[in-house]
Structure 1
Amino acid sequence: MVKKIFTSLIPLLFFLPYFFGSDLYAKEKPYYEGKVINIIVGYAPGGGYDRITRVIAKHLPRFIPGKPSVLVQNMPGAATVIAANYIYNIAKPDGLTIGLVNRGIPFAQLLHAPGVKFDLRKFSWIGSAAVETTTLALRTDMPFKNIEDLFKAKEPIIIGSGGGPGDATTQFVILLKEFLNLNMKIVNYQSSADVILAIERKEADGIGMSINSVRPFLERKLLRCWIRGRYANPEIEKLPVDEDLTTDKTGKLIMGIRSVADAIGRPYIAPPNTPVKIMSILRDAFARALKDPEVVTEARTKSMMDVQFVPPEECLRLVNFILNQPEDMVTKIGRYIKF
C-alpha cells in the first residue's frame, strides 16, 4: 500500500519547481552581470590619475563575476574635492559608482577647506593602486648643475600647480618653499597637463609630481627630478629627501606628516554604506587586477606607471593618522597649507 502511494507521487516531483519557483533550482545570477561600473576620476583626462584608471578599467571586468562593463568618467575640480563630494552625497551605495581621489585630500578635511562635504572615514574604501614618491621636477635646460645651485637661485623658479593646495604634489612644493627657503613662485593652472604645456613653452620652470606621473617627461628629457619625499622609488632613491634638507624642527614634522599621503597613493573609494558583499567583490577584483602580469606590464609600458595594491585597511589607517593630528599641529600645518 505504501509503495503504491509513493509510486503515485513520483510524477508530482517533476512539477514542484513550478509550484515553489524555479529559482530554487537555478544558480544565483552574479550581481554585476549586465551592469555598468562608473569610475569617477577627479581630474581631467591625460594625467597620472586618469592614465592609471583607464588601464585598470580595461582589465577589471575579467576579475569580477558577471564581467560588467567599466567606464571612466572625469569630474575635475578642487583637487578631487568635487568628485569626493559626488561619491559621498549623490552616488548610490550599489557598487556601480566608485571614484579615485587625490592622496592629499585628507588635508582638505583636516584643515576644513571650503567645499568639503564628506568624511573620509565613512567612505567604503576599496584600496589604492600605488605607493607614490613625490618629487620636485625642473626643466632640463635650467642652469642648475647641483642642489647647491638650486638653493642659490637668484631669479624666482616658477613652479606650476595643477591642483592647488588640496593636491599632494602642490603641498609638497609649498613646504619646500617655506622650509628650504627656495626662491620659488607657485602659479596655479587648471590641470597638470596645462602645467606641462607651460613648461614646454618655457612659461613655467617645473612642477611637483609623483614619479609615476613625471616618468614620461623624464624619458623625453623634458624634466629632471631634484628632491623627493620620504617614500623612495628605485629610480630616484638617491635624491635628497625634503625632510633632510631643512633644520627647522616644525618643518621636519610637517613634511613627515605630508609624506604619509604618498603611501595612500592612488586611492579608490565607494559611497558610504555600500554593502559588505559588494565591497568584497570590488576589493578582491582590484587586488587581483593590480597583481596581474598583463596589467602590471601594460601600466608600465603604455602608461609608464608602476602599480601596487594597497589594502583598504592600510589606506584608512593612514587617513586616520593624518586626521587625528593634535590641534596644535593642525594649526601649524594650516599656517603653510592654506585653502
Structure 2
Amino acid sequence: MKRKTLSFLLILFVLSILSLPNPLKAAPYYEGKVVRIAVAFPPGGGYDRMARILARHLPKHIPGKPTLIVENMPGASGMIGANYVYNMAKPDGLTIGAINRVTPSAQLLKIEGAKFDMLKYSWIGSAAVETSVLAVRADLPYKTFEDVKKAKEPINIGATGPGDTTYNFPILIKQFLGLNLKLTTGYVATADILLATERKEVDGYASAYSSIRPHIARGLLRPVLRSKIPSAGIEKLPAVEDLATDQMGKTILAMYAVSDRVGRPYVAPPGTPADIMNTLRDAFAKVTKDPELKQEADKLMMDVDYIPPEECLKEIRFFLNQPQEIVNEYKKYIKF
C-alpha cells in the first residue's frame, strides 16, 4: 500500500514539475532583435513609403516581435542596395532588401556592377504588383493618348536616368509607339521630378501608379497611358502592348511588363535558413491583409497585395531566358 502511495505521489510530483513554465524553453528567434529593410532608393519615393508602412506593421506578425528599421541605400539605379543584400548582408534573417523591380535588367544586360543573381536571392515575395503610367500636367492640352500622339512639339518628360521606371517606360513607348517625347534626365529621385513638374520645368513623367496616383487625385497630373497590368481606376487607359504595331515591340513591352508584375520585391541574402524564410514569408502574407496596414496604405493611395516568391521567380525566369536576338534589341533602349 505504501509503495502504491509513493508511486502516486511521485507521479503527481512529476506532473507538477512538467506543468511549470520551462525556463529553458527557446525564445522566438526574432525576440529582442532588430531587422533592417535596406531600400535601394532615396527617402520619399514609392519604395521607401512601402517599406516604412511594412516596418510599422510587420513586427506583430513575426514571432518575437522584432524592431524593424528602414535604411536607404540608393545609387546605381538600385544596384547598390541589391549588391549589398546579395554580397555583404549576413544570411541571418536580419536584413531584408527592398530592391528595384527593374534590377533583373542589369543581370540580363550583364552590367559590370551587377554582382548578383536574381534567382539566388532568398525570395520573400512582393508587396504589390504595379502599373507603370505616363502622366502629363493637367494644365496642358493633352487629355488623351490620341492628343499626346498628335503632339507637334516634343513633350518634355522628366526622368532620373537609365535603369529606372521614369526612364525605361517612356523610352520604350517613344520607340515603339512613335510618341514625340523628349526625356530630360538627371533628377536624383521621383520626388525631384515631381517638384520639377510643379514648377512647370517638365511636362510630366512616368512612374508606378501607386506613386503618381496622389498627384492625379489633387489635379496636378493627368494619366494618358499605362502598362499592361491594370489598376483600379485606370483600367480604361490604353495599354502600351495593345498599341505596339509590330511583334518585336510587343515582345519588348511584354518583357518590360515583368517588372510591373514583380512590383515591390522583397528579398533576403542567399543562403538564409529555410525556417527563417518561412517565418518572413508567412509574416508578409499576413501583413498585406492586415486591416490597419490596409487603412494606412489606402490613405497614401497605395495598393498592397502579397505575391508569393514562386510567382516572382516565374516572371524573372521568363525575362532572363529570352533569345539573344531579343536581348540585343532590348539593350538598344534599356541601359544602366
Q: TM-score, normalised by structure 2?
A: 0.92
Flag structure 1 segments of 5+ consecutive residues without an equivalent. Answer: none
Where does residue 333 of structure 2 map in the other structure? 336
* Cα 1:297/1:24, change in 2 over 3 Å: closer
Mapped pair 1:111 → 2:109:
yes
- Compute the displacement of 1:246 (Å): 2.3
Mapped pair 1:320 → 2:314:
no
Q: C-alpha deviations, 1:228-285, integer Å up to 9, x for none?
A: 0101112101011112222122111100111121110000000000000100111100
* Cα 1:82/1:177, change in 2 over 3 Å: same
State the secondary structure of the residue aligned to 1:98. strand
The one-letter code sitting in structure 2 at the alignment partner of 1:310 is I
Where does residue 173 of structure 1 map in the other structure? 170
Aligned length: 328
Q: C-alpha deviations, 1:44-75, integer Å up to 9, x for none?
A: 11111111111111011100111100000111
Determine the C-alpha separation between the residues in 2 that align with 1:23 and 1:114: 56
- Compute the displacement of 1:154 (Å): 2.1
Determine the C-alpha separation between the residues in 2 that align with 1:169 and 1:288: 31
Determine the C-alpha separation between the residues in 1 that align with 2:87 and 2:144: 48
Where does residue 200 of structure 2 map in the other structure? 202
Where does residue 79 of structure 1 map in the other structure? 77
- Compute the displacement of 1:165 (Å): 2.2
Determine the C-alpha separation between the residues in 2 that align with 1:216 and 1:234: 14
Where does residue 297 of structure 1 map in the other structure? 295
Determine the C-alpha separation between the residues in 2 that align with 1:225 and 1:309: 26
Q: Do the aligned partners of 1:139 and 1:205 also contact (CA within 8 Å) in 2? A: yes
Where does residue 257 of structure 2 map in the other structure? 259
- Compute the displacement of 1:110 (Å): 0.4
Q: TM-score, normalised by structure 1?
A: 0.91
Please, which of 91, 95, 115 is the counterpart of residue 93 of structure 1?
91
Please, which of 268, 273, 288 is the counterpart of residue 275 of structure 1?
273
Determine the C-alpha separation between the residues in 1 that align with 2:89 and 2:152: 50
The one-letter code sitting in structure 1 at the alignment partner of 2:335 is K
Where does residue 220 of structure 2 map in the other structure? 222
Determine the C-alpha separation between the residues in 1 that align with 2:278 and 2:144: 49
Q: Do the aligned partners of 2:165 and 2:208 also contact (CA within 8 Å) in 1? A: no
Mapped pair 1:307 → 2:296:
no
- Compute the displacement of 1:27 (Å): 2.2
* Cα 1:25/1:72, change in 2 over 3 Å: closer
Q: C-alpha deviations, 1:141-196, integer Å up to 9, x for none?
A: 1122332221122222111113x222234221110111111111112211000100
Flag structure 2 segments of 5+ consecutive residues without an equivalent. Answer: none
- Counting aligned pairs with the same residue, the percent is 55
- Compute the displacement of 1:132 (Å): 0.7
